[in-house]
Amino acid sequence: MTVLPQELRTRRVPPREISHDDLQLLRLLATGLPVDAVARRLDLSERTVRRRTRLICDRLGFSTAIEAIVWAARRGLV
């Protein structure tokens, strides 16, 4: 079992900071799809998917998409 750092277990972000589009992107990434497949499904460029992922992480205060996905999964959002 992986133990998450304390800051990942206790972080709280108001739901308004996560849009429907943000969650849709996180859900697709959580399935393990590569960025190019996520981009095709969302009809976006790979660059846009990467940029939006970075913006989501920045907004939530995480340094990686995995941290954001774990955060969302623990809250039942993905």
- What pLDDT does 18 receive? 84
Global pTM? 0.77
Q: How sure is the predictor about 42, in pLDDT bands with cuts at 50, 70 and 90?
A: very high
Instruction: Please name the residues in contact with 11: beta carbons below 8 A apart, sequence gap of 6 or more.
Output: 60, 61, 71
Q: Which residue, among 14, 36, 25, 37, has the nearest Cα to 65 in the 3D structure?
A: 25
> Which residue did the predictor score with more confidence, 46 or 15?
46
- What pLDDT does 48 receive? 97
Q: Which structural domains are found in the chain, ordered by start?
A: 16-74 (1.10.10.10)
Rounded-to-integer distance, Cα 6 and Cα 27, Å: 24
- Asked whether the predicted pLDDT for residue 58 surpasses 90, the reply is yes
